[in-house]
Amino acid sequence: MAPVSGAVSHWFETLPTPRPSLPGDRDADVCIVGAGYTGLWTAYYLKRADPGLRISVVEARFAGFGASGRNGGWLSGLPPGHRELLAEQHGRDGVIAWQRMLDAAVDEVIDVAARDGIDADIVKGGNLEVARNPAQAKRLRAEVEEDRRWGVDGIELLSAAEAADRVAVDSVVLGAFNPHCARIQPAKLVRGLAEVVERLGVTIYEQSPVTAIAPGRAETPHGVLRAPVILRATEGFTARMPGLRRRWLPMNSAMIATEPLPQRVWDNIGWVGRETLGDLAHGFFYAQRTADGRIALGGRAVPYRYASGIDRDGAVGQDTIDYLTGVLRTVLPQTRGVPIAHGWCGVLAVPRDWTGTVRFDPVTGIGEAGGYVGHGVTAANLAGRTLADLVLKRSTALTALPWVEHRSKAWEPEPLRWLGVRGLYTAYKIADRHEAGGRAATSPVARLADLITRRP
């Protein structure tokens, strides 16, 4: 049978019946636009801190419709931004504190899920990165050194045999294990969180796209939500809001899920620790072993659509499914013959300097968080807690973190934006081919592309 395409993502067994939309004009103390992890964590921490606050979340479709219901399920401490860039602006100590808080936020999510009864198939098995050629191995060594310098504790290099012993990936030459990562079922986390905040007294309006935000008001086709505080939590969809087209690039990421693997194939692969798994290719993959015995694997098939275009409910072409299936079969040849059940995609936000932000302007009452460059599952928790402190005018360790009030310049106008991103990803593909040939170091084509992507 042909794999299902889209239907938002494999993580929804059936799509939820949406909650009612905004029933005309309403007032609140805080209005949050977007019911993904960022919006819901912000609502959660605000309500916990001040149960009297009237908080409304206004969502275009349904809670978890965006990347929060479609992602790879890496609850990792990977930084949603450029550590060197932030260190140049704010000093090394602040960035080390940020990294430590990101790692600690992995446990915070796990603790809240346990305390508030969210079953999201969470297993904290760490993250296994594998290098599959000498150039990747050189990058992996450098990455581990760098992570240690930025305060990541407990990260270790693994020999090829040690790495393959965890997950029998083909042609591994080196591995690295980072303990600060858990596998989650993304949609279960975001849907569970929506239920928890509702129980705390937050109102969620679904099917209510916000068409304009101004101080004190968020407009929808059904009415206006008036509130002195308006927080935008629309990440990869932000470019669709008026005036924000060049703010954050909606980067596309696509995934496939296999049918459940037979036990004999699992016996061959291992993966008993449920680590999240990725590689060091420039066109990298990310994967997890799901609770029901499938492999879900993602990568950047079509990285960017002209004029910040966005998919329709996660639909992907057969070419994308074929590409990701090819990656899966190459990395884990044991899966040959296991059918692919589903393919889907979604958008994440990439700022021009590849660095996310949490911002709140007490004068206008407008705030936002996002731009997590594909590392938003944990970062959204830290951002939500931070936005809550900013709104409540609390000066805390969170509000002192270097990404708070960070500003990136706008992306180039089209067609430059499209040509640039397309050019970069072509360069990365060429570099991966160079490196697969056995080069000892990163291809110069990739080094040039890195310079362009990572810097303002």
Ligand X SMILES: Cc1cc2nc3c(=O)[nH]c(=O)nc-3n(C[C@H](O)[C@H](O)[C@H](O)COP(=O)(O)OP(=O)(O)OC[C@H]3O[C@@H](n4cnc5c(N)ncnc54)[C@H](O)[C@@H]3O)c2cc1C
Binding site for ligand X (CB under 6 A): 33-39, 58-61, 65-68, 70-74, 76, 209-210, 233-237, 241, 253, 255, 286, 298, 345-348, 370, 372, 374-378, 380
What is the Cα–Cα distance from 321 to 295, expressed in whole angstroms?
A: 14
For residue 340, give Cα distances in angstroms to 20, 24, 201, 206, 264: 35, 44, 41, 32, 18
Q: Smaller CB distance to ligand X: residue 376 or 402?
A: 376
Q: What is the CA radius of gyration of the chain?
A: 21
Q: Smaller CB distance to ligand X: residue 152 or 445?
A: 152
Please give the residue whose beta carbon sits closest to ligand X in the complex.
Answer: 376
Q: Smaller CB distance to ligand X: residue 85 or 225?
A: 225
Give least dist CB 437 to ligand X, A. Answer: 29
Give least dist CB 2 to ligand X, A. Answer: 20
What is the Cα–Cα distance from 278 to 11, expressed in whole angstroms?
A: 20
Give least dist CB 353 to ligand X, A. Answer: 17
What is the Cα–Cα distance from 183 to 291, expressed in whole angstroms?
A: 9
For residue 339, give Cα distances in angstroms to 4, 10, 111, 142, 261: 12, 14, 36, 37, 9
DSSP code string of 96-122: HHHHHHHHHHHHHHHHHHHHHT-----
Give least dist CB 264 to ligand X, A. Answer: 28
Q: Smaller CB distance to ligand X: residue 244 or 436?
A: 244
Give least dist CB 64 to ligand X, A. Answer: 7
Q: Smaller CB distance to ligand X: residue 95 or 218?
A: 218
What amino acid is encoded at 57 in this protein? V
Q: Smaller CB distance to ligand X: residue 174 or 345?
A: 345
- List the 30-33 sheet strands across, edge first: 203-205, 55-58, 30-33, 229-232, 366-370, 357-361
Give least dist CB 447 to ligand X, A. Answer: 25
Q: Are 256 and 56 in contact (CB under 8 A)?
A: no
Please state the separation of Cα 256 from the chain's center in Å.
16
**What are the tokens at 25?**
């004009």
Count of alpha carbons within 13 Å of 13, Cβ hemisphere only? 3
Give least dist CB 97 to ligand X, A. Answer: 20
Give least dist CB 276 to ligand X, A. Answer: 7
Q: Smaller CB distance to ligand X: residue 277 or 445?
A: 277
Q: Smaller CB distance to ligand X: residue 80 or 402?
A: 80
What is the Cα–Cα distance from 254 to 324, expressed in whole angstroms?
A: 8
